[in-house]
Amino acid sequence: MLVEIYYSPYCPHCRGARDTVDRTLASLGLTATVEERNVLDHLDAAVAAGVRMTPSLAVNGRVAVAGPFDPDRVAAALRDGDR
């Protein structure tokens, strides 16, 4: 499973996004390739994934969570992506 965290500098909700993802993966017992992408450096990839705001969590190439990372929504997205 590929998990991408799209963030932007100066975005308050982006801080801690990686921690939320790592903790959720660990609690679910899942493994994934996690990549953090600055949307300014990866604008085309962000658009292709459907990123409309930061932070956004893309699982296997498609946005699954947009906006602040609620742990329950992140968990649901990661479970879906692992199927």
Which residues bind to other proteins, rule: CB under 8 A? 8-11, 39-40, 43, 46-48, 50-54
Report the candidate in 63, 60, 40 with the shortest Cα–Cα distance to residue 50.
63
For other proteins, the closer of residues 24 and 37 by Cβ is 37
Q: Which residues pair with 33 in a beta bridge?
A: 2
Give the shortest CB-35-to-other proteins separation in angstroms: 18
Give the shortest CB-66-to-other proteins separation in angstroms: 10
Exposure on the CB side of residue 47, measured as CA atoms within 13 A: 4
For other proteins, the closer of residues 23 and 38 by Cβ is 38
Pair 28, 79: CB distance under 8 Å:
yes
For other proteins, the closer of residues 52 and 79 by Cβ is 52
